[in-house]
């Protein structure tokens, strides 16, 4: 069975997320396959994600992963076109196929005791062949290119006045470094690299000023200057003494036009002098698959987690770990060999599990991804991306360098970065996320974010359920919809005790950092926001609340008494750290003219203990959503496929519930015990119902959904005919007590 959508949503509304199916080739991937197969049938499938990534998929092609199978690695999505998508989905019966972004370190072989209670993964070896020519500047600076442009003012040349190893090094004298990285470049070009190989770049450096550098890249020598390595660039500090530096690149392509490029623009301090010597590039022989940062160690099937530290000397208790970027090793505090202490160990790699950087016209459906420490779905400059019915869990925690902040940890479930247009996320289950479950965000470059819908998703145990910010002021955020999502337990994540920043903003369902973009038609409606470690909503600036349309949401908070935190409001004393508690929801609504028709009460789930977040028949969320003006793109079905828009309690007109589950009186049995022993017919009915049972019915009660009793009979019957012709049309509940069981069911009077 091939699991594929044909149309996600098609109406006269501005959004039209229509999957166009054209003639293309279907490719199949199975754990029992072989990459030498052509992959075009279930009998001869491919076996690996690497094969999918390297294959030249064409618009209209589809890739189907076998249900129940598991892969390790990262999927690099390809683009379709406006007439033909590229589709990634599943085939066969069983659980969703799983893509794991982690390395299995459960074998004793992977761990070596380096000192008391400290265990390390094996070190790498290095090939002898030097890939850079003239790496020590012994006679001249040939093979190296020094380039400046725009506002930068700098010079670069070989010098014999300062060096690490005689007789010379390369010297850069910087008056002003400009604004952008590319304004000062120092490069060695036309290098030959192989896809999948890892290379170590090492060098000595010093400067008259201390500064951080995170822009040494392995990339294409000419336009379009493609990045030729996976993951994030390493960050290190250049200071006033000669120091040795190591960084690693795992190539994502085989090429003969690669270059090592030091980009110093906007980074070098004004009037600085920097010296570089003994620059070396060699292939690495790996003894583990570790090639980049490890953001999380997941123990015993996610029942326990490592605690990431920034320095080796911080390893103090069981589970503390440190990733050594200069030697590609993990250091782990453990009382004994970690493979003996834990049943299994997964090391989450800091790479996007599904990378759609620059991708357009692609659909991802019915796939599970987990155990990655960058983003689950991540990438910038996307358009016409659909993510539907996917499971995303245990994401984030990896390290990234942010100028002004240093190394921080990060990782979102689904992120649309920079430009994003006509993207849809629907009916996904997202939980245990280090940062935001869902976000579209941008900073730095001007970005247009338009026509993005997040609807009918079940979100839980994420630091933030939804996060947004977009700047600078020339950027645009328009037609953004966060609709009918059920958001649970914000802040209660696998990393809740590992956060580096202010705990007062830890755990909120809605998080809005500074937004300067021109913002319009941004709707946050029909959602359930249920319990948080800190607050339901956090907003950096009160003025940003005016950018969003809130309404018809259900808020519920008992974990703390805090509903809203606003860091700064120039119009409201005390101006900073403004808090609205659970008894001040009306004040918040009135003061900010927001959350019209929203409610603050328990949404009443069917069974929270058993993770059943369908609405109980008594929930105030039923029929309380907005489906009028403005017309919202709520979709045709809810999280589990029930019709989203249907007659309400009193039959027509059509109504919609709050949250990701639509309560369906027409198909949902309220409760039953041996219910086949009782028959109620006809149902629906206009006037009479006939009830029969194989046991004596001792009590019959009919009541409406507000609890008002319309009929009660304590006479014992084995069958009975009831006249309900005088009942108003609508939904009623009938409760029948027998000697051995009770039944509650619904009857429909029209």
Confidence of residue 249 (pLDDT cuts 50, 70, 90): very high
pLDDT score, position 564 = 96
CA 9 remoteness from chain centre: 23
Contacts of 486 (CB under 8 A, 6+ apart): 457, 458, 459, 527, 528, 530, 613, 639, 659, 660, 661
End-to-end distance of the chain based on CA atoms, in angstroms? 40
> Which residue do the tokens 């730095």 mark?
444
Contact 374, 351 (CB under 8 A): yes
On whether both 94 and 108 belong to a single domain, the answer is: no
Backbone angles phi, psi at 589, to 5 degrees: -60, -45
Confidence of residue 11 (pLDDT cuts 50, 70, 90): very low
The residue out of 285, 314, 339 marking a domain boundary is 285
> Which residue do the tokens 């390809």 mark?
78
Contacts 24+ apart (CB under 8 A), 75-78: 75/49, 75/99, 75/353, 75/354, 75/355, 76/252, 76/355, 77/354, 77/355, 77/356, 77/359, 77/362, 77/364, 77/379, 78/359, 78/362
For range 317-328, the mean pLDDT? 95
CB burial class (10 A; 0-12, 13-18, 19+) of residue 35? middle
- pLDDT above 90 (res 102): yes
On whether both 299 and 197 belong to a single domain, the answer is: no
The residue out of 312, 328, 347 marking a domain boundary is 347
On whether both 182 and 276 belong to a single domain, the answer is: yes
pLDDT score, position 623 = 87
- pLDDT above 80 (res 4): no
Q: Is residue 737 part of a domain?
A: yes
Confidence of residue 741 (pLDDT cuts 50, 70, 90): confident
Of the ranges 126-140, 223-237, 364-378, 654-668, the best mean pLDDT one: 364-378
For residues 52, 56, 59 and 62, what is the CA-based torsion angle, rounded to 10 degrees?
Answer: -20
Give the C-alpha separation, 407 to 262, whole Å: 20
Residue range(s) defining the domain that contains residue 300: 103-124+289-347
Q: pLDDT tens-digit profile of 552-591?
A: 999 999 999 999 999 998 888 888 889 999 999 999 999 9
CATH of the domain at 67: 2.160.20
- The helix or strand, by DSSP H or E, that contains position 341, with its residue range, turns out to be helix 338-341
On whether both 294 and 421 belong to a single domain, the answer is: no
On whether both 518 and 379 belong to a single domain, the answer is: yes
CATH of the domain at 693: 2.60.40.3080
pLDDT score, position 650 = 45
- pLDDT above 90 (res 746): no
For range 289-303, the mean pLDDT? 96
Q: 746, 617, 622: which is closest to 684 by C-alpha?
A: 746
Beta bridge partners of 246: 202
Give the C-alpha separation, 399 to 498, whole Å: 13
pLDDT score, position 652 = 46
Give the C-alpha separation, 416 to 442, whole Å: 9
**Token duo for residue 327:** 């030697």
pLDDT score, position 7 = 37
Q: Is residue 269 part of a domain?
A: yes
Q: Is residue 620 part of a domain?
A: no
- Residue 283 to residues 196, 254, 277: CA-CA distances in angstroms? 11, 14, 19
Contact 439, 425 (CB under 8 A): no
Q: Is residue 607 part of a domain?
A: no
On whether both 209 and 339 belong to a single domain, the answer is: no
Beta bridge partners of 141: none
Give the C-alpha separation, 250 to 325, whole Å: 13
On whether both 462 and 526 belong to a single domain, the answer is: yes
pTM tops 0.75, yes or no = yes
- Residue 739 vs residue 131, higher pLDDT: 131
Give the C-alpha separation, 174 to 213, whole Å: 15
pLDDT score, position 2 = 62
On whether both 694 and 572 belong to a single domain, the answer is: no
Confidence of residue 3 (pLDDT cuts 50, 70, 90): low
pLDDT score, position 413 = 98
Give the C-alpha separation, 420 to 82, whole Å: 15
Length of the chain: 750
Q: Is residue 649 part of a domain?
A: no
Q: Is residue 214 part of a domain?
A: yes
- Residue 417 to residues 146, 352, 361, 522, 711: CA-CA distances in angstroms? 32, 13, 16, 17, 58
pLDDT score, position 666 = 52
Contacts of 390 (CB under 8 A, 6+ apart): 96, 364, 365, 366, 367, 368, 369, 428, 429
Q: Is residue 139 part of a domain?
A: no
- pLDDT above 80 (res 418): yes
The residue out of 331, 347, 363 marking a domain boundary is 347
On whether both 317 and 396 belong to a single domain, the answer is: no
For range 720-739, the mean pLDDT? 85
**Token duo for residue 263:** 């980009």
- Domain count within the chain: 4
- Residue 262 to residues 187, 400, 576: CA-CA distances in angstroms? 6, 18, 42
Q: What angle do CA 572, 578, 584 make, to 5 degrees?
A: 95
pLDDT score, position 5 = 46
Instruction: Tell whether omega for the bond before 628 is within 30 degrees of 0, i.e. cis.
Output: no
On whether both 86 and 165 belong to a single domain, the answer is: no
pLDDT score, position 260 = 97
> Which residue do the tokens 């989450």 mark?
348
On whether both 476 and 583 belong to a single domain, the answer is: yes
Q: Helix (H, G, I), strand (E, B), or coil: what is residue 587? A: helix
Among 19-28, 307-316, 550-559, 612-621, which stretch is predicted with the lowest mean pLDDT? 19-28
Q: pLDDT tens-digit profile of 32-70?
A: 999 999 999 999 999 999 999 999 999 999 999 999 999
Backbone angles phi, psi at 716, to 5 degrees: -80, 135
On whether both 388 and 517 belong to a single domain, the answer is: yes
pLDDT score, position 669 = 46
Q: pLDDT tens-digit profile of 510-543?
A: 999 999 999 999 999 999 999 999 999 999 999 9
Mean pLDDT for the chain overall = 90
Q: pLDDT tens-digit profile of 669-712?
A: 444 444 456 788 787 788 888 888 888 888 898 887 666 889 99
Contacts of 464 (CB under 8 A, 6+ apart): 435, 436, 437, 439, 490, 507, 508, 509, 510, 511, 538
Q: How many CB atoms lie within 10 A of CB 661?
A: 26
pLDDT score, position 184 = 97
Q: How many CA atoms lie within 13 A of 307 on its CB side?
A: 15
**Token duo for residue 94:** 């069983």
Q: Is residue 650 part of a domain?
A: no
Percent residues over pLDDT 90 in the chain: 74
What is the phi-psi region of residue 644: left when phi exceeds 0, alpha when psi lies from -120 to 50, beta otherwise? alpha
Contact 246, 126 (CB under 8 A): no
């Amino acid at each position: 069975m091939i699991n594929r959508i044909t149309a996600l949503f098609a109406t006269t509304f501005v959004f039209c997320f229509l999957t166009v199916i054209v003639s293309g080739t279907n490719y199949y991937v199975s754990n029992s396959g072989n990459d030498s197969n052509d992959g075009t049938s279930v009998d001869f499938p491919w076996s690996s994600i690497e094969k999918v990534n390297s294959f030249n998929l064409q618009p209209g092609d589809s890739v189907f992963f076998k249900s129940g199978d598991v892969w390790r690695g990262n999927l690099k999505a390809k683009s379709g076109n406006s007439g033909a998508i590229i589709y990634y989905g599943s085939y066969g019966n069983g659980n969703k196929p799983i893509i794991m972004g982690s390395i299995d370190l459960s074998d004793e072989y992977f761990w070596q005791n380096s000192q008391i209670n400290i265990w390390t993964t094996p070190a790498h070896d290095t090939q002898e062949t030097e890939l850079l020519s003239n790496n020590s500047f012994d006679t001249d600076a040939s093979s190296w290119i020094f380039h400046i442009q725009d506002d930068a003012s700098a010079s670069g040349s070989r010098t014999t006045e300062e060096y690490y190893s005689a007789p010379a090094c390369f010297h850069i004298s910087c008056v002003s470094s400009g604004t952008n990285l590319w304004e000062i470049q120092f490069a060695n070009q036309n290098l030959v690299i192989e896809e999948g190989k890892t290379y170590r770049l090492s060098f000595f450096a010093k400067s008259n000023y201390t500064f951080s550098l995170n822009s040494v890249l392995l990339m294409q020598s000419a336009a379009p200057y493609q990045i030729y390595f996976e993951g994030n660039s390493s960050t290190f500090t250049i200071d006033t003494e000669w120091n040795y530096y190591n960084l690693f690149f795992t190539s994502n392509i085989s090429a003969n036009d690669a270059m090592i490029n030091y980009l110093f623009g906007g980074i070098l301090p004004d009037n600085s002098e920097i010296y570089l010597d003994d620059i070396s590039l060699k292939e690495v022989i790996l003894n583990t698959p570790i090639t980049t940062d490890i953001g999380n160690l997941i123990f015993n099937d996610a029942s326990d987690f490592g605690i990431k530290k920034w320095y080796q000397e911080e390893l103090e208790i069981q589970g503390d770990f440190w990733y050594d970027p200069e030697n590609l090793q993990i250091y782990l505090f453990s009382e004994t060999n970690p493979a003996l202490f834990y049943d299994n160990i997964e090391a989450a790699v800091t790479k996007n599990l599904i990378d759609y950087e620059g991708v357009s016209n692609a659909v991802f459906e019915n796939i599970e991804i987990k155990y990655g420490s960058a983003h689950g779905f991540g990438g910038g400059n996307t358009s016409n991306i659909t993510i539907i019915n996917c499971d995303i869990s245990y994401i984030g925690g990896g390290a990234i360098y942010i100028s002004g902040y240093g190394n921080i940890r990060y990782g979102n479930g689904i992120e649309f970065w920079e430009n994003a247009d006509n993207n849809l996320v629907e009916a996904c289950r997202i939980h245990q996320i280090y940062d935001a479950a869902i976000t579209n965000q941008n900073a730095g470059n001007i970005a247009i974010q338009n026509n993005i819908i997040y609807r009918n998703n079940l979100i839980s145990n994420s630091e933030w359920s939804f996060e947004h910010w977009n700047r600078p002021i020339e950027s645009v955020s328009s037609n953004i919809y966060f609709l009918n999502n059920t958001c649970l337990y914000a802040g209660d994540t696998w990393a809740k005790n590992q956060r580096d920043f202010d705990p007062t903003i830890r755990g909120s369902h809605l998080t809005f950092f500074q937004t300067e973009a021109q913002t319009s038609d941004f709707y946050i409606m029909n959602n359930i926001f249920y319990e948080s470690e800190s607050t339901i909503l956090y907003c950096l600036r009160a003025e940003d609340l005016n950018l969003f349309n809130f309404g018809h949401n259900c808020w519920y908070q008992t974990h703390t008494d805090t509903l809203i935190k606003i860091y700064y409001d120039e119009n409201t004393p005390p101006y900073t750290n403004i808090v609205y508690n659970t008894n001040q929801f009306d004040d918040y609504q009135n003061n900010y003219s927001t959350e019209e028709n929203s409610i603050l009460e328990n949404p009443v789930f069917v069974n929270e203990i058993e993770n059943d977040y369908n609405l109980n028949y008594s929930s105030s969320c039923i029929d309380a959503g907005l489906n009028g003006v403005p017309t919202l793109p709520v979709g045709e079905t809810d999280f589990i496929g029930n019709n989203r828009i249907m007659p309400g309690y009193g039959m027509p007109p059509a109504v919609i519930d709050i949250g990701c589950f639509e309560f369906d009186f027409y198909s949902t049995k309220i409760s039953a015990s041996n219910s086949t022993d009782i028959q109620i017919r006809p149902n629906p009915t206009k006037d009479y119902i006939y009830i029969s049972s194989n046991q004596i019915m001792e009590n019959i009660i009919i009541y409406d959904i507000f609890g008002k009793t319309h009929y009660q009979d304590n006479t014992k019957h084995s069958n009975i005919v009831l006249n309900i012709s005088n009942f108003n049309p609508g939904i009623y509940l009938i409760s029948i007590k027998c000697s051995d069981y009770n039944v509650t069911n619904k009857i429909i009077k029209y």
